[in-house]
Structure 1
């Protein structure tokens, strides 16, 4: 069995408004939260001696994070390189420029030729050699309408018609990759997308008008042993038959209060051709708590607020 760690939607550098400056380090406490949580994921990969790590996209809030945020991200993933653990970094919508081209925040790993690191910014198949055998990983980065169609082709069409045409066009391209798969090697589809039956959270507001929704039927193919998704921040398995499992691990930290009640974590996978076992591994992350207080009739609103907060 090939052991794999699947995580997604790190968003390192987001949520600063929910933190404060740590006077000792000079860093925002929310950045420290994200780094600590990511380090727990990497610790597990090293402790369990996984054969591969796959990341489902959205490393940062945008394509050009500050250098100190990039350094915090790189210092954790460097540990995988040092341990000779192959890693696939998929490009999500937040990793792309606003024009929807490339994965600016992740392409540095390919430009520098970081050993064992694959950047998935195109729809293609990567054959990865691990300590326990080969794995085929089809990378499907975040796609925009302009990736598959021209403005002239969509002119005069309804949104539903455009969606249908885009899906069919993607189906053809994906079929081309499937035809070249080795049927004896386990296969993972690693995709950053919005599936039509996913339970959405904050991400529904983060990609309005930029992407399109794909049907689950496009993903539940017998040639895939495991479908690793990114983009939706709530952990869920979209295919209850588990044939194959279609898994959003969710984000590793709460990005805002819309995720207050969501569990956060990553997924551990044991894989061979035609057989897969997976487990969601919860992470202990900072609690977001909404405290409702009515101060409309209070003589001392500040005092009432402070008293309510003190209860927690």
Structure 2
């Protein structure tokens, strides 16, 4: 049985500067979180006596050389070196190779194999004499539009296991992720590899059962949209069977809670209801909460005004009394029924007709073509979606009706 750890998207030097306004202490706690998460991954690798560790890109958040982040990363790699656990790593679109990164980077310990911009296959033997082939490449620029998957060789015939390391995005008819070494599931399957260790997508997900193709997700949530547990994958593989186990390691998680203001009449009731909701979650880690408050036009405007005040958010965490929970943002939304009523009041028939025309896929693209040329590809699919447009309307209505 071959045993290994698959992790990706460490983003070790993420500044989390936006949290400075909420709490400098909290911002510093979050800045330390990625390396603490990686240290836990190393703990798991040593405890489970894995044969090797795979890191599938975006070790750092930027291409800029950060000596402190490098030093902390290397300390953990040295722990693996002392226990004779090899590490195979690639660079992604955030920490792509440049002349600066190659000349100013600190040296890795001898157990680390890094991949350059050309497709390369490394073959090594485990302590139990199993031959493993690992194929991959590193980004040397932020965007890679070529189908690098076509350059991956077919499975090596004389190895016990062949693994693909790839930082990139699945290309489908519904996505525009062509800037990140695009590939299809069929292209992965055609290589006949035994496992694909993917990076780039920050959510743990299984892409294919046979062969096993996984995104491990990132090791620490970076913002309010990256909710829930983050960590790595522990894989046990043999020609007959395999298991893939998600191991949570992030010391800080993000979560989103929703309260319905129509059922709350007093500020004290609001705080008590929120307390009960948080207590029911039984959080074990430090948690950063994005609070969504559902409102209607007829709700108590004085209470709504208080909820919108900056000072309210700052005091709310203190009032709740949890040592490991912070309310970092409060969003007020208008219920859809109120949305419809408000739209009827705001727009004449001619304007509604114009909105319907813009909302058509072809017209929307035609009107915004020049704008889209300036937007990174990963945001385009979100902007085109019906859910995104509805969210924008809701936010606009909230500002118009809740002031």
Cα separation, 2, equivalents of 1:269 and 1:299: 46
1:93 Cα offset (Å): 1.1
Q: Larger C-alpha radius of gyration, 1 or 2?
A: 2
Pairs within 5 Å for 1:55-74: 55-74=55-74
Contact 2:4–2:54 (Cα < 8 Å) also in 1: yes
Contact 1:137–1:187 (Cα < 8 Å) also in 2: yes
Cα separation, 2, equivalents of 1:4 and 1:137: 12
Q: Secondary structure at the match of 1:104?
A: helix
Structure 1 match to 2:157: 182
Number of residue pairs matched by the alignment: 273
Cα separation, 2, equivalents of 1:198 and 1:46: 42
Matching of residue 128 in structure 1 with residue 124 in structure 2: yes
1:227 Cα offset (Å): 0.6
Structure 2 match to 1:154: none
1:72 Cα offset (Å): 1.2
The structure with more helix, counted as a fraction of residues: 2
* TM-score, L = length of structure 2: 0.59
Which residue of the other structure, out of 183, 194, 198, is the alignment partner of 1:225?
194
* TM-score, L = length of structure 1: 0.75
Q: Secondary structure at the match of 1:238?
A: strand
1:24-83 CA-to-partner distances (Å, cap 9, x unmatched) read: xxx932232122111111001111111100101111111223211111111111111111
Structure 1 gap segments, 5+ residues each:
148-162
1:139-184 CA-to-partner distances (Å, cap 9, x unmatched) read: 143476986xxxxxxxxxxxxxxx6xx43xx45422xx226x1344
Moved more, 48-57 or 278-287: 278-287
Which residue of the other structure, out of 180, 201, 204, is the alignment partner of 1:235?
204
CA gap of 1:103–1:142, structure 2 versus 1, over 3 A, is: farther
Cα separation, 2, equivalents of 1:106 and 1:80: 24
Cα separation, 1, equivalents of 2:290 and 2:60: 26
Matching of residue 193 in structure 1 with residue 168 in structure 2: yes
Q: Secondary structure at the match of 1:63?
A: coil
1:297 Cα offset (Å): 3.1
1:301 Cα offset (Å): 3.4
* Greater RCO, CA 8 A, separation 6+: 1
CA RMSD of aligned residues (A): 3.4
Matching of residue 10 in structure 1 with residue 18 in structure 2: no
